[in-house]
Amino acid sequence: MSAGENDGSADRINGIKSTLRVVPDFPKPGILFLDITTLLLDPKAFKDTIDLFVERYKQKDISVVAGIEARGFMFGPAIALAIGAKFVPLRKPKKLPGEVISEKYVLEYGTDCLEMHVGAVEPGERALVIDDLVATGGTLCAAMNLLERAGAVVVECACVIEVPDLKGRERLRLHGKPLYVLIESRFEPTS
Amino acid sequence: MSAGENGDSAGRINGIKSALRVIPNFPKPGIMFQDITTLLLDPKAFKDTIDLFVERYKHETISVIAGIEARGFIFGPPIALAIGAKFVPLRKPKKLPGEVISEKYILEYGSDCLEMHVGAVESGDRALIVDDLIATGGTLCAAMNLLERAGAEVVECACVIEVPELKGRERLRSHGKPLYVLVESQFVPSS
């Protein structure tokens, strides 16, 4: 599901969309990078972004918001605070101190790894996974695996932006989980 | 200045302090790592942390909150949202897309570098810098330099935890800027 379909949020969504910018050829030639930092420079648009997620999740008994390093850290905590949930950072290897569980995942070339603290999440907890953007869905699937290995139920994955051509939504559907986004990307670099 | 001097914050400060944990020998032998992730698992303590900063800054006409990657991204955005300021992420090299300015700084062995987007901050912006912890103050000084090079005025640096023996407060004082923290570091590892 995407926001704006039937919840009267169209103006807020348009405002958010207009603050995003596309940076061509980053991090490498041929990639059109969707940059959320310009959204963070617009207090109203940033607040609207958080509010849209909070409105969706505040009555869903979510006890954990898991945010993916590093841009998931910019959105997840504010949502967690508003709905009274724990915030759990999911991090690149060797960043979290103490005992962790690790989940490896496949990239276009090579692999990467996501870690979560042992004990951060308890069996039966209801979790939301947050990141700024979903592309192939590989990182979100690794995140869901971590939470499920700890016994939590992943209720949904939520991102500001979806890149539909990279089929992340389908990948999450195979994992049995829904995806909620505010905006779908269209590739037109802004000046 | 440290929080807790004014009596009605003392209860909240104690709650925050008790939510932190110390991990010995991380990231290397001899270091007592002050871990804020357990604070994030306590919704009341996390909310109190943000509230204490918001209460201090909401009438200070702060237009920019700059957060230092990555744990500054957890505390900075909720403060920015509450006071209506922009949030500006200060990042390790090559993470920010588009045009950046860079500031190098010295580590115990070698050097590191912090980057900020060109145009994120304007002349006349009043800025607060946020990170989870201050040790030597080297990273905060690099952050202040970035903001000042862009024409902003740094009002204060704010951290959850200070490690007093590492003299960060004195280093900031040499830069002419005050430091505000909620708690000082602890030495007893939690079980």
User: Angle at which helices A43-57 and B72-83 pack, to 10 degrees?
Assistant: 100
Question: Are B86 and B64 a contacting pair, CB within 8 Å?
Answer: yes
* Spatial distance between the Cα atoms of A80 and B160, rounded to a whole number of angstroms: 18
Contacts of residue B77 in chain A, CB cutoff 8 Å?
40, 46, 74-75, 77-78
Say if the Cβ atoms of A37 and B89 lie within 8 Å: yes
Contact A18, A49 (CB under 8 A): no
Please write the tens of the pLDDT for every residue from B23-60.
999 999 999 999 999 999 999 999 999 999 999 999 99
Min Cα–Cα distance to chain A from B86, Å: 5
Residue A74 is nearest to which of B41, B47, B89, comparing CB atoms?
Answer: B89
Strand, helix or coil at A23?
A: strand
> Residue holding tokens 């992340």?
A168
pLDDT at A188: 52
What integer pLDDT is reported at residue A177 of this predicted model?
97
Q: What's the pLDDT band for A178 if we cut at 50, 70, 90? A: very high
What's the per-residue H, E or C state across chain B? CECCCCHHHHHHHHHHHHHCEEEECCCCCCCEEEECHHHHCCHHHHHHHHHHHHHHHCCCCCCEEEEECCCHHHHHHHHHHHHCCEEEEEECCCCCCCCEEEEEEECCCCEEEEEEECCCCCCCCEEEEEEEEECCCHHHHHHHHHHHHCCCEEEEEEEEEECHHHCHHHHHHHCCCCEEEEEECCCCCCC
Q: Could you tell me if B120 and B131 are in contact, meaning their C-beta atoms sit under 8 angstroms apart? A: no
Q: Is A108 a catalytic residue?
A: yes
pLDDT in tens, A104-126: 999 877 899 999 999 999 999 99
The C-alpha of B159 sits at a distance from chain A's nearest C-alpha, in angstroms, of 16
pLDDT per residue as tens digits for the range B51-101: 999 999 999 999 999 999 999 999 999 999 999 999 999 999 999 999 999
Best residue in A37, A50, A51, A117 for a mutation probing chain B (most B CBs within 10 Å) = A37
Reported as a pLDDT band with limits 50, 70 and 90, residue B188 is low
Which of A127, A149, A164 has the alpha carbon at shortest distance from A34? A164
Predicted pLDDT of residue B171: 96
- Using CB atoms, pick whichever of B46, B69, B97 lies closest to residue A23: B97
With CB atoms and an 8 Å threshold, state whether A117 touches B37: yes
Asked if B34 and B133 count as a contact pair (C-beta separation under 8 A), the reply is yes
Cβ pair A35:B97 closer than 8 A: yes
Contact criterion met (CB below 8 Å) for A69 and A35: no
